[in-house]
Amino acid sequence: MPDLAAPLKSVVGAKTATVLADALDLHTVGDLLYHFPRRYVERGEHTDLASLRVGEHVTVMAQVQRVTVRPMRRRGDELLEVVVGDPESTGRRTLTLTYFGRAQIWRRRELTVGRWGLFSGKVSEFRGRRQLNQPDYRLLSDPHSPQTADEIEEFAGSLIPIYPTAAGVRTWTIARCVRVALDMLELPADPLPTALRARHGLVDLGTALHDIHRPSSREALAKARRRLKWDEAFALQVKLVQRKQAAARTPAVPRPRRPDGLLAAFDARLPFPLTDGQRAVGEEIAADLAAEHPMHRLLQGEVGSGKTLCALRAMLQVVDAGGQAVLLAPTEVLATQHHRNLLDLLGPLGRAGELGAAEVATRVALVTGSQSAAARRRALAEIASGDAGIVVGTHALLYDGVEFADLGLVIIDEQHRFGVEQRDTLRAKAERPPHLLVMTATPIPRTVAMTVFGDLEVSSLTQLPRGRSPIATHVVPAAEKPHFLDRAWRRVIEEVEAGHQAYVVCPRIGDAPAIGEDAEEAVTDALEGAPDDQEERQPPLAVLDVAPILAQGPLRDLRIGVLHGRLPPDEKDAVMRDFAAGRLDVLVATTVIEVGVDVPNATMMVVMDADRFGVSQLHQLRGRVGRGSAPGLCLLVTRAAAGTPARERLDAVAATLDGFRLAEVDLEQRREGDVLGAAQSGRRSHLKLVSLLRDADLIRDARAEALALVADDPELSNYPLLAEAVNALVSEDRAEYLQKG
């Protein structure tokens, strides 16, 4: 009898096995049985056809309502239209199946009014009606009539599994292969300890694998899913606990606090008191840095909560202990801004070797990809010699030629903007593992995943420093209410007349400063709130298109500047200096201003095509206003229709300033991503069932069991089947990603 490791061809035959391998990457019986159904339908239960989206591949259960045949011009060809739904469906709650070609007599005999079936194909739309062209189908017997023998075999229970499919492989094909595999399978020995299963009321693995595919009831399905979720969560927790214990044994250079060094001098010259949160976080980080194993900590806090100040104090502690600290930023604008801010905060403490430097001081070096050769040589020399205790830079720090004298601390700002490999490349520049601090203003899926799964120590800043003003956020539905957009531009003028400044943010740069007549008309339509045709959606608005139209139109009397990533560094700096000095009223920019830009006099932001941005980006962007004593205003302009996911995302951002709640919204919409791989978000996940949002209690219980088990038996020597299962679900190379941060 085959086991889970057996090749699929030994069960379903070589031809079908080849199709499953090519289409779905399924090669063994275990691969097939762990290809779980996406959802289940009950006999006689209709699918919500109104929720189907154009372009997606679907399998729906529905009942034939109407059949129409029309001859076509080509002799012998005919068009067969079959309207399906449920007995009470009308309009958008029905779906039209279309078949073209020679006489469709055999289909007409099968697709008779009243028949139920599963229909599979790609959703399209014609004249406002949803349809499937040439869909595959599998008819079911009437729920109230006797079933055929084949159908009893294929769909044994009242719950019919609907599997993730691919071109050429339908859900009923997978169901048939699963049935054969389950009938032939030699039940696997259960890797979970018996006592653990008893404590948590978990069914055995063989029962779970059977009932996830062929459940006899909703209750049996729930028990199967719970057991298999436990397998995923527990395997991951065991691996994380094992790796965390190994990390605790990895030697690092301790960087203890010095009572008379740079950090003490810096604290003494601060013109404001630290918040309670900043002091508490500072103590947590200081203790980690003084330890003999590497810090691996996440610092999360609202926009403007003082994360950079906490990071600087950590860097100074490392410099006091003879090491170097590097701050990695995702953009040149942010790196340059960080460099300037750190120099301003440090004053004479950051100008070692210069006239007027403090007695105890260091240097702050900047490394970016576009700086001059002379500036780069000077910075690299200071880094290699150790004269620069603090280094700020972009991806340019990752390249060969950047050598540190003694790298002791790596700080990643807005860590979701870097791949795990990039972060690891920088840490590899240290002789011994450096301490690591990652910072984010809005926890994004990968960060939240690692946090909940317990790989990172977490510090949180929830207080805003005194003097920060509230930010009001509103959605501007430009297509539904174009006069709202007119009012937005008048509001910008009012802010400028009151002595303040504003940002206008666009999703992209644009191809050239001058635009053609057609493009200008499209941009003008968008700026005036014309509806966005979803079938031929306009490209995202661009800075180089929008800026001249605003300058000639609604904002013609204001001083407008342009900022984007393709500007030369000198021009970027000049524009930012002009805006910071108040010589510009409005800055039309891309997301280069997303983080780090600090202009207290900027009180308003208009985000164009706001639905093109993610939750994290929008939260970061609006954090650029309200940084002074005057309240901030952020307007999210969209042509997305009410009730769409894009509009709901914007409504959620407008409803709260709580970055942690927005992280949950982000998870709900994008899911956790692959926490054991390089994907930052999306649906590619090796955790197929367990969910951070829905299964937090289960994950917590799994972690407690993993801690106890690994403490007693670190290598799982007494549990060889469990060790094998853990490595199968969480391979070593995937677990490496978690350690990389």
Other beta carbons within 10 angstroms of residue 651's beta carbon come to: 14
Q: What is the pLDDT of residue 314?
A: 97
- The tokens describing 169, both together, are 């492989």
Q: What is the pLDDT of residue 627?
A: 82
Q: What is the pLDDT of residue 518?
A: 43
Report the distance separating Cα 389 and Cα 258, nearest Å: 15
Does position 349 have pLDDT exceeding 80, yes or no?
yes
- The tokens describing 55, both together, are 């372009």
Q: Nearest-5° angle of CA 52, CA 54, CA 60?
A: 35
The sign one gets for the Cα dihedral 452, 455, 457, 459 is: negative
CA 441 to chain CA centroid, nearest Å: 14
pLDDT band at 230 (very low <50, low <70, confident <90, very high): very high
Mean pLDDT of 230-256: 87
CA distances in angstroms from 203 to 192, 472, 641, 722, listed in the order given: 10, 51, 46, 16
Give exposure, 428-446, as e/b (b: 16+ Cβ within 10 Å).
ebbeebbbbbbbbbbbbbb
Does position 731 have pLDDT exceeding 70, yes or no?
no
Which residue shows structure tokens 């599998």? 138
Other beta carbons within 10 angstroms of residue 655's beta carbon come to: 13
pLDDT in tens, 445-501: 555 665 565 667 888 887 766 666 778 999 999 888 888 999 999 999 999 999 999
pLDDT in tens, 551-607: 999 999 999 999 998 888 888 889 989 999 999 999 999 988 876 577 889 999 999
Q: What is the pLDDT of residue 519?
A: 45
pLDDT band at 545 (very low <50, low <70, confident <90, very high): very high
CA distances in angstroms from 85 to 124, 127, 290, listed in the order given: 16, 18, 66
pLDDT in tens, 3-12: 888 999 999 9
Other beta carbons within 10 angstroms of residue 691's beta carbon come to: 17
C-alpha torsion 272→277→280→282, nearest 10: -60
Spatial CB neighbours of 456, under 8 Å, sequence gap ≥ 6: 296, 297, 298, 438, 447, 450, 741
DSSP designation for 465:
P
Query: How, if at all, do strands 77-85 and 57-71 pair?
Result: antiparallel
Q: Nearest-5° angle of CA 526, CA 528, CA 531?
A: 55
CATH topology of domain 9-213: OB fold (Dihydrolipoamide Acetyltransferase, E2P) (2.40.50)
Instruction: Decide whether 9-213 matches 471-656 in CATH topology.
Output: no
Other beta carbons within 10 angstroms of residue 300's beta carbon come to: 25
User: What residue ranges in 400-445 does DSSP mark as E strands?
Assistant: 407-413, 435-440
Minimum mean pLDDT range among 235-239, 435-439, 668-672, 698-702: 668-672
For residue 364, give the nearest of 417, 317, 312, 413 by alpha carbon.
Answer: 312
Q: Nearest-5° angle of CA 722, CA 723, CA 726?
A: 85
pLDDT in tens, 136-185: 888 876 554 544 445 544 554 568 888 888 777 888 889 889 999 999 98
Residues paired with 40 in a beta bridge: 161
Report the distance separating Cα 227 and Cα 697, nearest Å: 14
Q: What is the pLDDT of residue 317?
A: 98
pTM over 0.85: no
The sign one gets for the Cα dihedral 581, 582, 587, 593 is: positive
Does position 116 have pLDDT exceeding 50, yes or no?
yes
In contact, 714 and 219? CB cutoff 8 Å: no
Among 45-54, 387-396, 720-729, top mean pLDDT goes to 387-396
C-alpha torsion 452→455→457→463, nearest 10: -30
For residue 60, give the nearest of 52, 71, 68 by alpha carbon.
Answer: 52
CA distances in angstroms from 89 to 63, 75, 77, 110, 211, listed in the order given: 10, 35, 30, 21, 32
Which residue shows structure tokens 């279309």? 98
The sign one gets for the Cα dihedral 24, 28, 29, 30 is: negative
pLDDT band at 515 (very low <50, low <70, confident <90, very high): very low
In contact, 680 and 692? CB cutoff 8 Å: no
Where do the domains of the chain lie? 9-213, 262-461, 471-656
* Higher-scoring residue by pLDDT: 102, 479: 479
Query: How, if at all, do strands 39-42 and 159-162 pair?
Result: antiparallel
* Higher-scoring residue by pLDDT: 670, 8: 8
Residues paired with 436 in a beta bridge: 296, 410
Architecture of domain 471-656: 3-Layer(aba) Sandwich (3.40)
Spatial CB neighbours of 33, under 8 Å, sequence gap ≥ 6: 4, 178, 181, 182, 185, 209, 213
Q: What is the pLDDT of residue 718?
A: 93
Q: What is the pLDDT of residue 479?
A: 86
Report the distance separating Cα 396 and Cα 416, nearest Å: 17
Residues paired with 438 in a beta bridge: 298, 412
Which residue shows structure tokens 């001058």? 514
SS3 state at 131: strand
Q: What is the pLDDT of residue 497?
A: 96
Report the distance separating Cα 236 and Cα 692, nearest Å: 13
Is residue 335 left, alpha or beta, with left meaning phi > 0 and alpha meaning psi from -120 to 50? alpha
* Higher-scoring residue by pLDDT: 58, 587: 587
- The tokens describing 15, both together, are 């031809």
SS3 state at 402: coil
In contact, 442 and 283? CB cutoff 8 Å: no
In contact, 154 and 179? CB cutoff 8 Å: yes
Report the distance separating Cα 564 and Cα 655, nearest Å: 29
Amino acid at 191: P
Spatial CB neighbours of 127, under 8 Å, sequence gap ≥ 6: none
Q: Can you spell out the DSSP letters for 600-650?
A: TTEEEEEETTGGGS-HHHHHHHHTTSS-SSSPEEEEEEE-PPTTSHHHHHH
Q: What is the pLDDT of residue 737?
A: 53
CA atoms within 13 A on the CB side of 656: 15
Minimum mean pLDDT range among 308-312, 410-414, 532-536, 608-612: 532-536
Q: What is the pLDDT of residue 535?
A: 40
Report the distance separating Cα 449 and Cα 443, nearest Å: 9
CATH number of 262-461: 3.40.50.300
Distance between the two ends of the chain, CA-based, in angstroms? 43
For residue 675, give the nearest of 443, 453, 411, 460 by alpha carbon.
Answer: 453
Report the distance separating Cα 517 and Cα 73, nearest Å: 41
pLDDT in tens, 177-206: 999 999 998 888 899 999 999 999 999 999
Does position 322 have pLDDT exceeding 90, yes or no?
yes
Report the distance separating Cα 262 and Cα 325, nearest Å: 13
In contact, 625 and 605? CB cutoff 8 Å: yes
* Higher-scoring residue by pLDDT: 629, 195: 195
Q: Mean pLDDT for the chain?
A: 83
In contact, 42 and 160? CB cutoff 8 Å: yes
Report the distance separating Cα 145 and Cα 154, nearest Å: 17
CA 133 to chain CA centroid, nearest Å: 33
